[in-house]
């Protein structure tokens, strides 16, 4: 019976080797990844999208794109440009942007 170890004891021994401040990626790697995800493909040039400034971790994520709800219904705003809602007409984009009052939601042209 001396060899019996509870699951909690085994897990505590397992996690003792990890540091609490373990960060798998540096800030530069995070910035590079997010910059790559925020790029649009070439077919989106000349179209419009709605962006807002972020409240969380502003030095890492500069802006969030309004998500096209036909692509995903899990979230409303994303840093990933592949989920962004695209508009052909600036007036239509501005009409939708007026609904959002917080975090400086505005329309930008994709260049």
Any domain includes 46:
yes
Any domain includes 2:
no
Segments forming the whole domain that contains residue 73: 7-109
Tell me how many degrees the CA angle 105-108-111 measures, rounded to the nearest 5. Answer: 155
pLDDT in tens, 46-93: 999 999 988 777 777 788 999 999 999 999 999 888 999 999 999 999
DSSP annotation string for 54-87: -SS-TTT--EEEEB-TTT-SS-SEES-GGGB--B
Any domain includes 11:
yes
Any domain includes 24:
yes
pTM as predicted: 0.68
Q: How many domains does the chain have?
A: 1
Question: 103: phi > 0 → left, psi -120 to 50 → alpha, else beta; which?
Answer: left
Any domain includes 1:
no
């Amino acid at each position: 019976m001396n060899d019996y170890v509870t699951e909690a004891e085994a897990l505590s021994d397992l996690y003792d080797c990890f540091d609490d401040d373990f960060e798998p990626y540096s800030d530069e790697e995070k910035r590079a990844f997010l910059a790559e995800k925020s790029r649009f493909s070439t077919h989106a040039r000349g179209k419009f999208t709605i962006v807002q400034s972020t409240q969380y971790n502003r030095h890492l994520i500069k802006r969030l794109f309004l998500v096209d709800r036909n692509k995903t219904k899990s979230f409303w705003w994303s840093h990933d440009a592949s989920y962004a809602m695209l508009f052909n007409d600036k007036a239509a984009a501005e009409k939708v942007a007026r609904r959002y009052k917080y975090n400086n939601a505005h329309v930008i042209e994709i260049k």
